[in-house]
Chain A
């Protein structure tokens, strides 16, 4: 049994090679699937009752001499737990205030989720930023914490309009509820076209911890009443 598992492992290509091969297409597939799932969002609230395939319990099934794959590893390797509800995992302290050195960005952070249209909620107040509460918090062990705000008001620029000119090395401070403030260091500013929005890269829940400050930018497109791009500042723990 163990021997079979080992033999199988030896002919498998290295996982890294498989991942590299899969990566180029997986992003597009995920994006397409996301788009479609949003289109379908209105009708996915409730699924029809499904009937599982009942298993034959007839002893005569023993008679079958089917060729079957090797059995799994011995029992000691399989996690077993009481099927009781999991106690909620402790949350990281929520971010409450954002300051970016050398800018007018000195604003409260509120917790936000998802709008009915599937986009991230953005606080109405021009002097508030929103933290995507379903993703990692600043200070989390992994993944990207996303804080976003409007780039403008109805007549003027808002503080986050300064994101696009941040220099690498700029310090960002996040004050938190009941925890020490965190300092991040800007590593880059990118423009992402809205018609090529890559949500999975911004709202990443695993991998190295980063802070992402997001707003709109680029040209204002009258016909769409929207900017053409998102401005995304990436910062790492300083």
Chain B
């Protein structure tokens, strides 16, 4: 590859472009999802004083909701509150950038107090043939390790941090264990990492209350195309010489080859602009 052509500056520019979001996002609206990760509490979610999610139950994911870029006030009240004046969480102000992708999570902090966290989702293109997995610790629990097939793949994750892995697509047998141990406190559970998809897994609930569990959010459409289709080996089918045709004729394919050679010449004549000069 012509690595020398690319300077550090070009890399930085491309990185900025990929951070701007997938090409499919024709509109500049931000995408906001909301996850409810506080056990035992049905709530209403208010955006700028309007009831946006009614009777929002623990373990449910809402959205994505397309919103113009800007600042928003989010508040969470008891279900069926008359207004947002007495929130149980918030109000909090969040800033949504154009084409940004976000998840606001109502969850317990490490000590078990209801809080909210605002995560920015990575919606950059994923290398062809790969998927992304992000794990977010939003549970009332100390540091944890994430195990896949019994082996730690993420170590020492603490609330409210996250960590991202780029993986071959497949189904993982995922479990969460106290940091430095392998005895699951959640799972093992099957988590599918699909090609071109960013799968976000949340550990939520409370260790003390024995209701730790996983929530899963999928952000699809982040695939990219392979870098090429390397279908040549020896030059035996070179379009510009008769040798390929002669070799095939010698191999006994016969009259069909004469047609083939005619086709080769025709294609070669039709494509002068694509021909390289040596």
Contact = CB atoms under 8 A, between A and B. Distances in A.
Contact of A165 (B11, B65, B225, B263): B263
A175 interface: no
A80 B62 contact: yes
Contact of A226 (B157, B162, B230, B271): B230
Given A148-B231, A152-B232, A203 B225 contact: yes
B73 A68 contact: yes
Given A194-B228, A228-B274, A68 B70 contact: yes
A126 B242 CA distance: 21
**Chain B contact surface mostly:** mixed
Contact of B229 (A61, A191, A214): A214
Interface in B219-278: 221, 223-240, 244, 247-248, 251, 253, 256, 259-260, 262-264, 266-267, 271, 274-276, 278
B251 A156 contact: yes
A49 B49 contact: no
A160 B87 CA distance: 66
Contact of B239 (A35, A62, A219): A219
B71 A69 contact: yes
Interface in A66-118: 66, 68-75, 78-86, 88, 104, 113-115, 117-118
Interface of A: 1, 8, 15, 18-19, 22, 26, 29-30, 32-41, 44-57, 59, 61-62, 64, 66, 68-75, 78-86, 88, 104, 113-115, 117-120, 122, 132, 134, 146, 148-158, 160-162, 164-165, 191, 193-194, 197, 199-200, 202-203, 205, 214-222, 226-230
B52 A74 contact: yes
8 contacts: A38-B127, A39-B6, A55-B90, A57-B115, A79-B62, A156-B236, A197-B228, A229-B271
Given A62-B91, A191-B274, A214-B229, A19 B26 contact: yes
Report the 6 A-B pairs with minimum CB-CB distance, sorted nearest first: A165-B263, A199-B225, A220-B235, A114-B129, A83-B215, A36-B14
Contacts, number: 332
A78 B60 CA distance: 12
Given A52-B160, A156-B248, A34 B224 contact: yes
A156 B51 CA distance: 70
A39 B1 contact: yes
A219 B276 contact: yes
B26 A69 contact: no
